[in-house]
Structure formats: C-alpha cells, structure tokens
Amino acid sequence: MGDKEFLINSCGVNTIFFENQSENQRFIDVYRWEFEIRGETTIVGSRDAEITFPGIGEYRGVMMVNPGLDCGDTAEIFVNLFPSIHADFSFDYDTCIAGPTVFTDMSSTGADRIVNWQWEFGEGGLSADQHPVYNYPIPGNHTISLSVTDNNECTDMEEKLLPYFPVPPLIIVEPSTFVGCTPGHVFFNNLSVPIDSTYDIHWDFGDGNTGSTISPRHIYENPGLFTVEVDITSPIGCFTSASFPNWIEIKQSPAAAFSFTPEIPSNFNPTVSFVNNSQNAISYVWQFDQFGRSFDNDPIFTFPDTGMYFVQLIATHENGCMDTSIQQIDVIPRVTYFMPNAFTPNDDGRNDEFRGNGFTTGMQAFELSIWSRWGELLFVTNSPEDAWNGRKDNTGQLIPPGVYVYKVSYVDPRGQPVQFDGFATLIR
C-alpha cells in the first residue's frame, strides 16, 4: 500500500475502531470519514471513528482532514472482513502410567481451511502436526498452547493445562556395582521416567536401611547378598514398585594395619622394622614411598635419607577384596655437639685445644664463644670445626689457667634453635 493507503484485515470482528494518527492537530479544523457500505455512504465527522460493517467482504473508505481547504489531506482505507477462526483441542493420556499423550485438533474456521498448526507442549516440546502424539520426558503441570492459521492468514491461540504426574511404566535402576567389598559404596542411578523431586520414593537396600532420594548412595557395612526394593508414588497417588532379588553382593574385606620400630627413626638409625597387624588377609604388598617394595609379612627397610615418607600396606583377602593402611614416617635429621670440660694447651700434642665433637651435618647459624669470669670475650667462631687454643682470639697472649665460660648456639636441620653453656677448665 502507498503512504496514504491503509489495509485493515479483521477476522470475525465486524466493528472496527479507527484511530486517527494525523499530525499537527492544531492546524486541523475538520475531520471526515467516509465508507461505502452496500451502495450507501457512511459519514463520521469526529477525529476517531468506530464503524460496524454488515458482514464478510471488502470495504473501501477515506479519511480526510480539512476537506475543501488549501491545507487538507486524504488517506484511502481498505477493509477486509474475514470469517472468524477458533483454536481448540483435546488430549488423552493415562493419568497413572506414563505413555504417549494424544492431542486432537478441534479448531474451526469460516474460511476455506486451516493451513498451519503450531503446538507447544509446555516443557520445550514442539510440533507442527495437526494431531500430534507426544511423550513427556518429565512430569509437571504443563501449559499446552495451540496456534492455528487459516488461508486468510487469520490466527487464533488456545491454552490448556495438562497435569502430568504418572509413574514410570518400567522402573530402571543402574547400580554403580553389583559386587563390592566392605564397606560397599553403591550408587543407585535411577533412570526411570518420568519422576522428579515431587514424587515420594522409598528404597529398601536389604540391610535394614532405607532411602528417599531419586538416585541414592548407600554404604553396605557388612558382607552379604542383598535384595533391593523401590516404591514410587506420584503427587496424585499413582503407585508402582520393583524388587531386585539378591542384587548386590558385598564381600568381607581384610583390615590392613601395621606398626614399626623405632617409632622415631633418624639419620643415626634409618633402618625400620615393620610388624604386620592386618587381619583376614592372605597376601601383602608394602610400598615404601617411591624407594622400595616388599611382599614379606614383616619387612625391614632402610630409608635413603632423612625426611617424610609414606609407607603403604595393601592387604588382600582370599576373596580378592583389599584394604590399605598408610602411615607417614618421619626420619629425623639429628645433629650432636658435645664439649669437653678441660684442656691442657702445653704443646705436648695431647688435649692442646678446647674442641667440640659431634655430628654437625645440617647444623646452621653455629656460634661458639669463650668468656672470662669478668665478661671478657676471649674467643668466638662460627664453625663447629674450630677450637680454642688458650690464647686471646687464638693469636694473642696466653690466657692464665682457670675456669672459663663457654656458650654454644646453633639451629638444627628442622629450624629449631639450640643453646647451651658450660665451663672450660684451662690447665697448663
């Protein structure tokens, strides 16, 4: 249509309201609507107009502003009145046993025919069939909508609520395992449809315990052969159940355990004796971190260095079930440093120096200092290998015989500070 031509299609409605959208209203003094209806002219002189047409057909009219004046304008109007169209449908399904829902189109039109159907089933499903069949994957109150279009492009839409809460036609459960060892962890994956959290679900795991979730996890603490049962009740009272006789077999597991000596191994004693305290087992595998393996009942292992190690014992029952015990063993890095109580710096080659002895690998921030009774510093060193020769700073004048104070401090390999002091007797 042109800029000043307007087409209006109406489906089943004979009375039409025309809203005038002419601009610059302050310059408009006169409005005039004219419609040719069955050979007669209907005239309306208001800004907007409401016209009732006598029936189906094509009608023509004009809308004029300031007719006969210099500043006037005219628009042509074409009106098509089509027969009415009415969307309607019905559905049929078993309310208690899940299955297909059959939808029947009951729409009507005064036109030649309906040419298009658009179904929306309320949970994402769609169809363009006239009479579709749909299987709902989930329960719920589903709002069904049907939109229909006839050959005049007239449309109508109808909505209806479908309460869909049946129970599954077949209960399907997939356990994570059928054979396990105590404690037996089993996940029961419920693949039955349609169910959701609004359903009442009761599980009997066969060992005196029950569950109520859709897909439960259960732990069988004792060995045995167990029958599993499940009952499902929908929100509207529909019921179904299933029993799986002797379904889950749980075997006895061994109990892996061990002890060891010494309880605090160190770099002075890195060899550890292990005692197997396992029960109900016939074979064993020991893993000493990444440094060794043994199949002995009570192995002995020497750790290659100080530090933290994980020792793992896997015990196997005669039925094949296994249990694992893991302990962390700390091989402590020890240092020692001992001081004498006297020395004789007389150059005879025997006991001429005041020297500490011990295992000093890993020792940090070492300091040995020698002091007179009056608080004079006579000697200091940061090396545990150094010794005092009885002279001031080991190079000065001879120190007279007597009793002197020594102080020792260091940090051990684990970062712990150590301090001690004592007396050094200088004999000449």
Please report the DSSP string for 146-185 in residue order: EEEEETT--EEEEEEEEEE-PBPSS--EEES-SEEESSEE
pLDDT of residue 420: 97
Supply angle C-alpha 243, 249, 254, rounded to 5: 155
pLDDT of residue 428: 82
Q: How confident is the model at residue 94 (pLDDT cuts 50, 70, 90)?
A: very high
CATH class of 5-82: mainly beta
DSSP letter, residue 178 = S
pLDDT of residue 174: 98
* pLDDT over 90 at 106, yes or no: yes
* pLDDT over 80 at 102, yes or no: yes
- Copy the structure tokens of residue 316: 């196997």
CATH topology of domain 342-426: Immunoglobulin-like (2.60.40)
- pLDDT-above-90 percentage for the chain: 93
Q: What integer is the mean pLDDT of 332-351?
A: 93
Domain ranges of the chain: 5-82, 85-164, 173-251, 258-331, 342-426
35-69: per-residue pLDDT in tens?
A: 999 889 999 999 999 999 999 999 999 999 999 88
Across all residues in the chain, what is the average pLDDT?
Answer: 95
**Structural contact between residues 175 and 248, judged by C-beta atoms closer than 8 angstroms:** yes
65-87: per-residue pLDDT in tens?
A: 999 887 889 999 999 999 999 99
The fourth-level CATH superfamily of domain 85-164 is Immunoglobulins (2.60.40.10)
* pLDDT over 90 at 353, yes or no: yes
* pLDDT over 80 at 383, yes or no: yes
- Copy the structure tokens of residue 280: 């109900």
pLDDT of residue 240: 97
CA-atom Rg of the chain in angstroms: 50
Pick the CATH number of 258-331 from 2.60.40.60, 3.40.50.170, 3.40.190.150, 2.60.40.10: 2.60.40.10
63's enclosing H/E stretch is: strand 57-65
Specify whether domain 173-251 bears CATH 3.40.605.10.
no
d(CA 38, CA 58): 10
Q: What integer is the mean pLDDT of 344-360?
A: 93
Q: Which of 100, 116, 119, 109 shows the shortest CA–CA distance to 159? A: 119
pLDDT of residue 317: 97
pLDDT of residue 3: 61
Torsion angle, alpha carbons of 25, 31, 36, 40, to 10: 170
Phi, psi (degrees; rounded to nearest 5) at 307: 130, -175
* pLDDT over 60 at 297, yes or no: yes
200-215: per-residue pLDDT in tens?
A: 999 999 999 999 999 9
pLDDT of residue 2: 45
- Copy the structure tokens of residue 75: 């628009």
365's enclosing H/E stretch is: strand 364-371
**Structural contact between residues 284 and 290, judged by C-beta atoms closer than 8 angstroms:** no
Burial status of residue 15 (CB atoms within 10 A of its CB: 0-12, 13-18, 19 or more): exposed
400-423: per-residue pLDDT in tens?
A: 999 999 999 999 999 999 999 999
pLDDT of residue 1: 42
Q: What integer is the mean pLDDT of 243-258?
A: 98
173-209: per-residue pLDDT in tens?
A: 999 999 999 999 999 999 999 999 999 999 999 999 9
d(CA 399, CA 373): 12
* pLDDT over 90 at 377, yes or no: yes
Cβ-based neighbour number of residue 184 at 10 Å: 23
* pLDDT over 80 at 364, yes or no: yes
* pLDDT over 60 at 261, yes or no: yes
